[in-house]
Structure 1
Amino acid sequence: MPTLRRSAKRDVVQEILNVDDSARAIEPVATNLESIITNPDDGHIEALGVVNDAQGKRESKGKELAKAAVAAVDAPVAKRSKLPAGVQFPLLSLISFSISSLLYSFLNEWTGSELANVGKSLDSWVEVGVLASWRITELALGWFGNFDSLDLAGLNLLAHGPTMYLLSTFYNISAPTAIAAVAIEMASTFIPFQLLRPLSGVHAGAKGVANREIVTDVPIAIYTTLLSTIIYSITIFTAMHLTVPQALVLYFQDIPSVEPAYTANYVGILPVMLAFGFAARSFIFTPFAATGPTTEDRKLDEFDPVTATLGETLLWNLWGYTTRAKVIISRTLVAIVVTGVNTYLQTYITVPGVESAGAASWASTWAVAVSLVGIALALVGGEE
């Protein structure tokens, strides 16, 4: 690496690091830094590259301080569960199902079984098994995908909101009941994840997160939320006047009325779409913006198509992106799949008189909306 020459009289200061004031932890070695590498999962500083110094003792001292800085900046926000790894996910699933069952029982008591009276009775164990299996799949995706409680809360709003919006708009379910049902779905994932896994540095506001000034900037948060909301509003409004009415007439046999599809307007759907826009920004954009360069990114420059094998070349062409790009691509794909599959299953299995084609049509509308949001947020965030 290149050598930086500086005055021998210039002393390194602040040798004692304050872990609580981690933002100052790298100051003593700032003049020796060549690069800062962050972790792709939470944006924490993963490595500091220190350039060679003309004086050997200062080089050694700078490296020691760099290591201490990494430890200070990357200090965990909260301790992880001390339970055995093999027990954590089964326990998380059990807690999630228990919370969901308990809260839905309270909801039925509170609303006079309003939601149960509209929904279809699940008489087949196959249907129960499909819904339970998909729920476990959602939890596994979040757990093994290293998402935290806020990630799962936002993802569940995106996934369960469309079905509740359908019931509220076309099946005369009251707005408080629909909102409460979505809140139950969010709580049944937020609580167990919060108990067993600490918040990521992105959501906890850790000082070591890359691009922290962007992540915590209120105007940027408002702008990206409004952008997501507008995209959702335009997509759903357009579908309501083009594709949804035909699908409702053909494939929703017991629907009380399709008139709300024709009378839908921007003002009426905007408050609901604002919730979707906020959730999409939180799940997709925030982790994307908080991802800095990583050690994996350096390998992109080292790839040589001449010496690479066929498999390495194919992998490069399919997934040869920076870590930052991979974050928004993977998160957008997760949002599309979870939104589409969950909306389809919930609509087809739990709403009476709905045919498979109708459920697929309704689900695809929302999957398209979240995919457009992901593309727009990627363009706004840019690429380093």
Structure 2
Amino acid sequence: MSTQRRAYANPADARDEVPAAEPAESSLVARAPSPARRSALPVAVQFPLLATLSFCLASLGYSLLGEVTKGELAAVSRSQDTWTEVGVLAGWRGIELALGWFGKLDSLDVAMLDLLSHGPHLYLLSAFYNLSLSTAFSAMAVDLISVAVPFYLLRPLSAVHTPSAAAKLPNRELLDVVLQVYTAALSTGIYSVVLVLSMHFVLPRIFVVYFANIPTVEPAYAASYASTLPVTALFGIAASTFIFAPFATTGHVKEDDKIAAFDPVEASLGETVWWNAWGYTAKTKVVIQRTAVAVFVSAVNTYLACSKTVYGVEALGAAAYASVWAFAALCTGVGLGFVGGE
């Protein structure tokens, strides 16, 4: 990833070199929704309402899923033994929703992020615990709907996900369908390599030692790039959608001029430390932040889902399995950063 953190002895040189461009926000989302289209509800009630809707939809969805599948998912999942465990899982779901809401993500963003964080657990149950594909996909659909619908009702899609508004974005040519296919393919390839190599060299031992009730580890040894492609393609598309487009279409902001004009000779120690730690352009900050969020939620949700809802999984085993998916998300973010770098 290009960071554009050059230091200039003369700030005027930096101003001459920095081109003027359309402003953009340095946040998880390249552009916030238009104020005219935001929810008319009071700000104080928007997030509580969103969280309530999400929990209600999830509860309803899983109840219907249990009835239709005759409890297939419940048969391979353990119930929470204490109110502490219930509180941990509910609290984590609230944190996920808060990350999306206060990070100014839209419904498509949170849906893709939800797939990255909830998919690994369902893949584990489907591949190793004999959960049918139809039930796994249905459970994933419940998760996606329960988070995307409340966001869609309370917050419109951002400009990068709205074709009519995307035409005004900087670097809009990077939203070309062909390039998006390429970036999705790159993300899929990275997930495939990480998952298959982990299945062959890391996870079998982890499963045997720390997953006491796992029925079989044969799928790990039999994993191939072709057999895992349907799964890794979903993760690749989700990662590319969540990370690449908002990052690639982030434009130039005034703070970028200050970063480019930074003079280490004149700067104080505190300013130098800040510049070395966070002296990146707005565009680079977006890819760093979105990659960090994807890694964080993939790791934490996979760990909690495995350790709290799967029979016989020890904490160390859950952490090891979660680290595989977190590493895949990290590598994908780095790869996409190089593709869309300045």
User: For residue 350 of structure 1, what is the aligned residue in structure 2?
Assistant: 309
User: For residue 112 of structure 2, what is the aligned residue in structure 1?
Assistant: 154
User: For residue 98 of structure 2, what is the aligned residue in structure 1?
Assistant: 140
Deviates more, 1:177-186 or 1:152-161: 177-186
User: For residue 263 of structure 1, what is the aligned residue in structure 2?
Assistant: 222
Rate the CA distance shift 1:86–1:77 in 2: closer, same or farther, 3 A.
closer
Counterpart-to-counterpart distance in 1, 2:40 and 2:198:
48
User: For residue 35 of structure 1, what is the aligned residue in structure 2?
Assistant: 20
Tell me the CA shift for residue 38 of structure 1. Answer: 2.0
CA deviations over 1:308-354 (Å, ceiling 9, x no partner) = 33322211110000000000011001000000000000000000100
- Kindly provide the amino acid, as one letter, of the partner of residue 100 in structure 1: A
Rate the CA distance shift 1:226–1:77 in 2: closer, same or farther, 3 A.
farther
- Answer yes or no: is the 8 Å Cα contact 2:298–2:326 preserved in 1: yes
Are 1:102 and 2:60 counterparts?
Answer: yes
- Answer yes or no: is the 8 Å Cα contact 1:78–1:198 preserved in 2: no
User: For residue 92 of structure 1, what is the aligned residue in structure 2?
Assistant: 50
CA deviations over 1:26-51 (Å, ceiling 9, x no partner) = xxxxxxxx83332125656xxxxxxx
Counterpart-to-counterpart distance in 2, 1:185 and 1:77:
28
Counterpart-to-counterpart distance in 1, 2:33 and 2:100:
23
Query: Which structure 2 residue ranges, 5 or more long, are not aligned?
Result: 1-18
Greater relative contact order structure (CA < 8 Å, 6+ sep) = 2
- Answer yes or no: is the 8 Å Cα contact 1:43–1:209 preserved in 2: no
Rate the CA distance shift 1:281–1:240 in 2: closer, same or farther, 3 A.
same
Are 1:118 and 2:76 counterparts?
Answer: yes
User: For residue 379 of structure 1, what is the aligned residue in structure 2?
Assistant: 338
Are 1:214 and 2:174 counterparts?
Answer: yes
- Answer yes or no: is the 8 Å Cα contact 2:20–2:252 preserved in 1: no
Counterpart-to-counterpart distance in 1, 2:48 and 2:265:
47
Identify, as 1 or 2, the structure richer in strand: 1
C-alpha RMSD of matched pairs (Å): 1.6
- Kindly provide the amino acid, as one letter, of the partner of residue 22 in structure 2: I
Are 1:172 and 2:99 counterparts?
Answer: no
Tell me the CA shift for residue 265 of structure 1. Answer: 1.3
Are 1:294 and 2:253 counterparts?
Answer: yes
User: For residue 9 of structure 2, what is the aligned residue in structure 1?
Assistant: none
Query: Which structure 1 residue ranges, 5 or more long, are not aligned?
Result: 1-33, 45-73
Secondary structure (helix, strand or coil) at the match of 2:104 reads: coil
User: For residue 159 of structure 2, what is the aligned residue in structure 1?
Assistant: 201
Counterpart-to-counterpart distance in 1, 2:115 and 2:187:
14
- Identical counterparts, % of pairs: 53
- Answer yes or no: is the 8 Å Cα contact 1:43–1:210 preserved in 2: no
Are 1:279 and 2:279 counterparts?
Answer: no
- Kindly provide the amino acid, as one letter, of the partner of residue 304 in structure 1: D
TM-score by length of 1: 0.81
Task: Work out which of the two has the higher radius of gyration on C-alpha atoms and give 1 or 2.
Answer: 1
Tell me the CA shift for residue 305 of structure 1. Answer: 2.8
| Number of aligned positions between the proteins | 320
CA deviations over 1:188-234 (Å, ceiling 9, x no partner) = 1101111111111001121321111211x111011111111011011
Tell me the CA shift for residue 77 of structure 1. Answer: 8.8
User: For residue 314 of structure 1, what is the aligned residue in structure 2?
Assistant: 273
Counterpart-to-counterpart distance in 2, 1:75 and 1:89:
16
CA deviations over 1:72-126 (Å, ceiling 9, x no partner) = xx99396101111111111110011001000011110110110011100112101
